Structures are given as structure tokens and as C-alpha cells.
Amino acid sequence: MTQAEFALFCNVSKPTVERWETSDKKITGPVTLLAQIVLRHPEIAEQLMLPEKKYPLRLWYYYLDTVCTIIDVDIINQRVSIKNYTDNLIYRAFGRNEHPTFADYEEFLRSRCFPEERDKMKLMLRELDIPFYDPLMIIEKTDGRMAEDDFWIKIER
């Protein structure tokens, strides 16, 4: 694991990792426990490592501040690739489906928006400054937040 990868893994900057490595001072705090776990069980780091971005669009599906699923999407070729970071099916974007289709992805997007048949939908679209009903555009404005849950989506292009 490189310095940059370890920094990303620990959610710190690369200069912080460099300072830890070059400092004569003893490193303390939770990061020491994390480092010991990674040294003893390197497979954990591999499981938690961010996958390389396969397609142009990446969606991060969160519960509160915890990443549950990363979804890479190629809209032009209609391809979807996911990586789940939880074993709890309720927190996964696609539940038990490990290989979602593009249709599954589109259904997932629709599930994180108000319904297309909603009364006074055009008023809601106008409030969001969106010209027509498009689930991805709605999620970009609302982060896919719904009134009844704590899930949300971050979009990376």
C-alpha cells in the first residue's frame, strides 16, 4: 500500500502519512490500531480499498456518513458495476443483487426520487430548476434524499 493509498484509507492527507513515517515522535491514537489491523490482515485493506473508476459516472450511496455502495455507470453503453461496503442487504443500493443491469440502475434512481406521476410534479421540477423529469438530474439537486430515510447519493463525474 502506497502512502497515498494509506492516506485515503485512513482519511488523512498524504503529508500526514509522510510526517508519521519521518517523525521521531511516537504515533498515537486510533490510527495505530488501524495500522496494526492492516498489517495483520492485509485482506481487510483490499476489501475496503476504493475500486478503480471503471466508467465515467460514479455514484456513492451513503447511509448517514457511511459509504454503503459505490456504483460506476457507463450510460452510453448501458453498463453498471458496483462495490458493496456492507453485508447488510438493507443498506445496499441493490440489495442482494451483486450484478445489477442498467434497468436495475434506472429503477434504483427512480426509487430515490419523487414519482413521475406525482401531483403537481411540474411545480416541483420548476422549484428544482429542472426542465423535465430525469431521475439523475433530480438526484443531482436533492442528493437522492428522501423524507423517510437517511440514505443519500453523491455523484462524481
pLDDT, residue 46, reads: 82
Give the integer Cα–Cα distance in Å for 100 and 59: 14
Tell me if 97 sits within 8 A of 104, measured CB to CB: yes
CB atoms within 10 A of CB 59: 24
pLDDT, residue 19, reads: 92
Question: Which alpha helices (H) appear in the chain, and where do they start and end?
Answer: 3-10, 14-22, 30-40, 42-48, 102-111, 121-128, 135-142
Q: Tens of pLDDT along 63-74?
A: 999 999 999 999
Quickly tell me which residue has 440489495 as its cell: 95
Q: Tens of pLDDT along 91-117?
A: 999 999 999 999 999 999 999 999 999
